[in-house]
Structure 1
Amino acid sequence: MTHYVSHERLWSEPMPLLFQRQLGTVRNVIAPDPVLNVLARSCEENAEINTAFVGTKFTPHDFRRLFATEIVNGGLPIMLPRLAELEKDLWLRRKRAQEEQWLGEIEGIDLTLTFLRTEQADPERLTRRVPAGLGIPRPRH
């Protein structure tokens, strides 16, 4: 699926997108603001039950990082050339995160890069790996 990236003023390459919906026969990407609003409400509701969620904010990009980490850490057999492509993309995202001072994002990307390098160095581990607990995200200030 492609979508228009307003802040870059261009259409994306075809890719799987996490936040999408189907209206009739047309599949569309859900705009970032409604997703952010739903995530913010969910965090507020969870904070009433679990104080660890007080002040916690998620963004759609957090989910991309979490899924990428889970894929690599969970042992999904990804071809090595695809891993090199993922690594290149992660380095570009890390550079942008540094420019934008997204500290939590940098931490997550570094974790994903660590797992990715392990995958590239030792493909035999795919069958023996156990998932790592990532814990609860920390509040952003």
Structure 2
Amino acid sequence: MTRYDPHDKVWSPPMPFLFQRQNGTVPAVFNIGTIQKMIERRCLALAEVHPGFKGLKFTPHDFRRIFITELVNSGLPIHIGAALLGHLNVQTTRGYVAVFDEDVIRHYLEHLEHRRQIRPTDEYRDTTSDEWTEFEEHFDRRKVELGSCGRPYGTPCQHEHACIRCPMLHVNPKMLTRLAELEADLLNRRTRAEAEGKAGETEGIDLTLTFLRAKREETQRRARRPAVDLGIPKPRTDPSTRETL
């Protein structure tokens, strides 16, 4: 079944939409306004039995947030939740998920522990000096002017170092003033390109400005979050010798 998007002015590909109805002999998707009115009527009915629902207003998008929150609270790693929602950046998913940072870390550690248990034991070996050097160099190459690149280990840059447009760029909050300088430069270039009738250049600059402003908002939001106390790791001991490793 397909659905017309009034915002993008396009028809969606065939998808298993949740709210469907029969329009004569043709199946159709419920209008968003209709769904919202159905939810409002249900909240009014629930408020008579559960006063906590009185005055609450839900939107269809709220159920998307509830869905991913339940999954992550049940132990699903948040990066898999990001893939389910179609988010390019896991930080966007964190804005959806109503969990504390400690819960996110706990779920991630549980996922790692599970993966370690099912991994063949012969794969656990000491790294060679060349492998360790290569590993360190990977993280050195991820350091860029505006912050750090979050691309996975062993993968090259897929965006030809166009960092502002890259979803893997994590901007350092200390570089917010640099973003303001880049924005001012892009606006000057856009004015010049528009005056010279360079429509393609103007369109490219507008796209870059969109990414830049989104990264600035995301960085400001991260800067306002409290730091998570991970504690001090305890040294491991060898059970056979009782010596600290």
TM-score range, shorter chain: 0.5 to 0.7
Q: Which amino acid aligns with 1:49?
A: V
Q: In the TM superposition, what are the counterparts of 1:1-141 in structure 2 within 5 Å?
A: 1-23=1-23, 26-75=26-75, 83=81, 85-86=83-84, 89=87, 91=89, 94=92, 106=95, 109-111=96-98, 122=111, 124=114
Say which SS state the counterpart of residue 65 (structure 1) adopts. Answer: helix
Give 1:54 shift. Answer: 1.2
Is contact 2:2-2:13 (8 Å) kept? yes
Is contact 2:65-2:97 (8 Å) kept? no
Matched residue, 1:102? none
Number of aligned residues = 111
Give 1:43 shift. Answer: 1.0
Q: Which amino acid aligns with 1:50?
A: H
CA distance in 2, matches of 1:52, 1:2: 37
Give 1:22 shift. Answer: 3.6
CA distance in 2, matches of 1:72, 1:49: 30
**Structure 1: gaps (5+ residues):** 96-105, 126-141
Give 1:58 shift. Answer: 0.9
Q: How high is the TM-score relative to the length of structure 2? A: 0.35
Say which SS state the counterpart of residue 111 (structure 1) adopts. Answer: coil
Q: Which amino acid aligns with 2:58?
A: F
Percent identity over the alignment is 40
CA distance in 1, matches of 2:88, 2:63: 14
Instruction: Indicate how the Cα distance of structure 1 residues 15 and 91 shifts in structure 2: closer, same or farther if over 3 A, else same.
Output: farther
Instruction: Indicate how the Cα distance of structure 1 residues 83 and 65 shifts in structure 2: closer, same or farther if over 3 A, else same.
Output: closer
CA distance in 1, matches of 2:34, 2:75: 33
TM-superposition CA deviations, 1:53-112 (whole Å, max 9, x none): 111011111112212222343357x9x9855523652759x59xxxxxxxxxx4xx0437
Q: How high is the TM-score relative to the length of structure 1? A: 0.55
Instruction: Indicate how the Cα distance of structure 1 residues 21 and 113 shifts in structure 2: closer, same or farther if over 3 A, else same.
Output: farther
Instruction: Indicate how the Cα distance of structure 1 residues 116 and 27 shifts in structure 2: closer, same or farther if over 3 A, else same.
Output: farther
TM-superposition CA deviations, 1:5-59 (whole Å, max 9, x none): 1122112244332222244653321001111111111111222222211110111
Instruction: Indicate how the Cα distance of structure 1 residues 32 and 87 shifts in structure 2: closer, same or farther if over 3 A, else same.
Output: closer
**Structure 2: gaps (5+ residues):** 116-245
Instruction: Indicate how the Cα distance of structure 1 residues 118 and 11 shifts in structure 2: closer, same or farther if over 3 A, else same.
Output: farther
